[in-house]
Each structure stands twice: as C-alpha cells, then as structure tokens.
Amino acid sequence: MATEKKRKAAARKDIGISLESLEAKAAESDLKEAYWLVSDGADHRLGIVATAGKDGARTFSVELLVCALEGAAELELSTLEKAVNTAEKLKSRGYSLTQQDDGWITCEKQLPRNDVARECEALMILAATSKARRFVSIKKEASKRGRE
C-alpha cells in the first residue's frame, strides 16, 4: 500500500510546460503545430500537441505512445497483455488508438486547454502504477508526425 502511494506521489509532478509558450510556438511554426515531451520512459512516451488554427483558435491534444511489438525477438505474452490492458484503459478514457507499422500504438485525445495538465498527470500515474516490468525500450526519436 505504501509503495502504491509513493508511485502515485512520484507521478504527480508539474508537467513543466507553459501552455501559453506552446501556443506561441504553434502559431510561429510553419506547420502551425508544436510538441512538448512531458515524459519518456521505458514504458511510455507522453507529449502535448498544440495546434494553431487559421481562425486563431488553439487546440490541444495529449499523445501517448505505447509499444506492443518491437523488432524481432521472442514474444513475451505478459508484456503484450499489459500493453493491451493499457490500450483498453486509454480507449475507455476516450483516446483514439492507431497501430503504427513499427509495432507502436499511438493513443491521442483532444482536450480543452484547462484539462491538459490534469490528463497528463493521470497518464503519468497510469504509467507509474503499471505492474509491467517494461512495455517498451526507450524510443528517442519524435513521434510519427516528425515532431521535436
């Protein structure tokens, strides 16, 4: 029980980004989009996407990458099962799930500006409290959209 509380406390941290700054970067970008990496670990990659619309409106999305399969290796069913369970939890939270060719699953959800930090904290708790040894090896490059 104490260990569970420690994990939750460790996951509850400031996401370290000014949404105003992210909005400004999106407005200045050629693609009208900016990305901020919130958390990158052995079992997840979590980021915030800000998009500047032509009408001046700003939208925010939270993106979580999870690896179901990567490279040629012996398949560990328990690891795959944990990735599927995480994907099911995200689907129930309203995330769209997209399978990538490299075995990664992209989970995305558009959110009101005021809900972005709270959702990131919830996802970090989900990652911290997972019983999985590892879902993935660390993926250092930007997501499929070529963000940095």
**Residue 144 lies inside a defined structural domain of this protein:** no
**Residue 145 lies inside a defined structural domain of this protein:** no
Residue 27's domain spans which residues?
A: 2-129
Please tell me which residue, 92 or 16, carries the higher pLDDT value: 92
Number of domains in the chain: 1
**Residue 25 lies inside a defined structural domain of this protein:** yes
For residue 49, the model assigns a pLDDT of 95
**Residue 68 lies inside a defined structural domain of this protein:** yes
CATH number at residue 30: 3.90.1150
For residue 62, the model assigns a pLDDT of 94
For residue 53, the model assigns a pLDDT of 87
pLDDT tens profile 104-140: 788 999 999 999 999 998 888 877 765 444 433 333 3
pLDDT tens profile 70-109: 666 777 787 778 778 888 889 999 999 998 887 778 899 9
**Residue 50 lies inside a defined structural domain of this protein:** yes
Q: In the predicted model, is pLDDT for residue 57 greater than 80?
A: yes
**Residue 110 lies inside a defined structural domain of this protein:** yes
Q: What amino acid is encoded at 46 in this protein?
A: L
Q: Round the average pLDDT of the chain to a whole number and report it.
A: 76
> CA 53 to CA 4: how far, in whole Å?
41
pTM comes to: 0.71
| Percentage of residues in the chain having pLDDT higher than 90 | 32
**Residue 11 lies inside a defined structural domain of this protein:** yes
**Residue 77 lies inside a defined structural domain of this protein:** yes
